[in-house]
Structure 1
């Protein structure tokens, strides 16, 4: 009998799938699109993603343990269904590949600007291959281990409170904004990842409490985003944030260790664990 995911493993798996490269540019996106105190848009994006999770809850309730593929095959003619499968394969595969490639390009740019990125891409592809062939349950266990390895990085943000200035937040909300549809979509894309839960129906049971796990993981992602962006807004100010390509890398470089040069390269390397889970789940 196939072992089922526990609520804890399911929560961490979805959380690690949602956290991706978007975190590195999220403060700039909020500053550019929404101006002063742009981080206040995150609760709104959280509500929209929660609404989508509730739609998944309806599908899960109606599925009654059946996989998504069985539901589709019983409802849609095959001549429509098979092209739909290929479209989904293309979208999810390209998404996984682009996430991994984006990470590699940034890593090569900040750490090894003269190196060939193909070498790093090959290494990451090998890691992804060995992760994927282990199956969902082992990927969930790996995600749990990776989560505990990357969690201490969030504590680094406490280091910046000594230079945090409330005046940089200002008393205005969404002043000097340049809101656009593309900006709103880019903000929402930072929350995607929970939709892969539609493929987890065969790997769970009632004890997994999938919908509760999705809601908890989405809440965790929102808390992390608010925590990080709130500190960066108070550390840089929204005008300075809008000029930084990767604000999180800049702020990580502010940490100085006596035995390491280029601390942002060291800390950025740890985010590979999260990227492996995100890209691996999509692939």
Structure 2
């Protein structure tokens, strides 16, 4: 696409943006969420959730392949007309900015609980929005480079969790399928929040340098996320008892407290300090999708003025919006519910509508 020639991303960056967006806030509480409904069979639900996410990811790529020269805004306007298309795009923008907001407020909440309990919300918000703004303002190419950087400096983090395998009880996983089929299937919806991020392919596709690799890239991204989710979940399931794991809000962090190294204490604090970059890599792509969409909606080329406005809104909201753990949990559930529609339902409906649309166009030409 000519208009994106100087702001393109490589296949590697495309994969890492989606992968790092998925492996963000959800992985910290994922084992507990799965255990609450599916017990220790929750890892099976992860496999089913991965399959569903792959299928819907391919649907999104198929939609964009039929309209390779169009952004999501142009695509919706083409299919539904100017005003309906704009209305649907506004909903997409609101979804993206809500996702970014949920993650940043959740991040502040986690840092206050685990590292800086006396630190004020607005101070943490200032410290967070500065690097987020610096990365986001430069556009998708810099976001892609940032994703590569975060990937490189976080490669040690999954390996660290292997130290938690000491004193594990593998029989906790047996017998496989003991909870029955219905709990396993019902737990699949708990994996939706964890796999959210692949819907950003709607935004990333026009920037991808070699669009023929989009299908391969999104399958790899989802699969990398699955590997991390399975690793964290299974280690948690064999380290904690089926009842104990439900008592932890963030079992992944509790795993780190069990790791004892002779030269290091409070490993979870060091882990979280690096993990902030992972959380930023969930916030930044959603935030960029929102401000880019808003700038396109307003007919502006530069997304930075809208980005500055949103940074100010986040900062101001940190003075009077102090979400509790219950509110954070509810916000996460609301994001998961919205993600069910924007990442799973709407792409399928859009694909079906597109099939009918292109079929009708073909008949008119004949």
TM-score per shorter chain, which class?
over 0.9
User: Residue 155 of structure 2: which of 144, 151, 161 is its match?
Assistant: 151
Match of 2:244, SS?
helix
- The residue that corresponds to 1:256 in the other structure is 260
Alignment partner of 1:42 is 2:46: yes
Greater displacement, 2-11 / 182-191? 182-191
Which of 191, 197, 219 is residue 187 of structure 1 equivalent to? Answer: 191
State the shift of 1:174 in Å.
4.7
| Structure 2 contact 45–185 (Cα < 8 Å) conserved | no
Between the aligned partners of 1:88 and 1:36, the Cα distance in structure 2 is 35
Aligned equivalents of 1:75 and 1:178: distance in 2? 38
Given candidates 228, 235, 248, the residue that maps to 2:232 is: 228
Q: How does 1:27-176 map to 2 (within 5 A)?
A: 27-175=31-179
Superposition deviation, residue 180 in structure 1: 9.8
Deviation at 1:60, TM superposition (A): 2.1
Deviates more, 1:76-85 or 1:168-177: 168-177
Q: Deviations over 1:245-275 (max 9, x none)?
A: 1101111111234454322111011111111
**Aligned-residue offset at 1:4:** 2.5
Does the aligned pair in 2 maintain the 1:34–1:174 contact within 8 Å?
no
Encode CA deviations 1:131-172: one digit per residue, 9 max, x unaligned: 101110111111111011112010012212232221222224
For the residue of structure 2 that corresponds to 1:238, the secondary structure is coil
Give the Cα–Cα distance (whole angstroms) in 2 for the partners of residues 143 and 208 of structure 1: 21
Q: Does the residue aligned with 2:40 lie in a helix, a strand or coil?
A: coil
2:21–2:282: 8 Å Cα contact kept in structure 1?
yes
Check if 1:212 corresponds to 2:216. yes
| 1:183 shift after superposition | 5.3
| 1:10 to partner: Cα distance | 1.0
Question: What does 1:235-250 correspond to in 2, within 5 Å?
Answer: 235-250=239-254
Offset, 1:67 = 2.0
Whole-angstrom CA distance in 2 between matches of 1:180 and 1:163: 27
2: distance between equivalents of 1:137 and 1:59?
A: 23
> What is the TM-score normalised by the length of structure 1?
0.93
Give the drift of 1:173: 2.1
In structure 2, list runs of 5 or more residues that go unmatched. 288-366
The question of 1:13 aligning with 2:47 is answered no
Aligned 8 A contact 2:37 2:187 in 1? yes
Give distance in 2, aligned partners of 1:208 and 1:14: 17
In the superposition, relative to structure 1, how do residues 180 and 94 fare at CA in structure 2: closer, same or farther (>3 Å)? farther
CA RMSD of aligned residues (A): 2.1
1:280 and 2:296 are equivalent in the alignment: no
Greater length-normalized contact order (CA 8 Å, ≥ 6 residues apart): 1
What is the aligned partner in structure 1 of residue 307 from structure 2? none
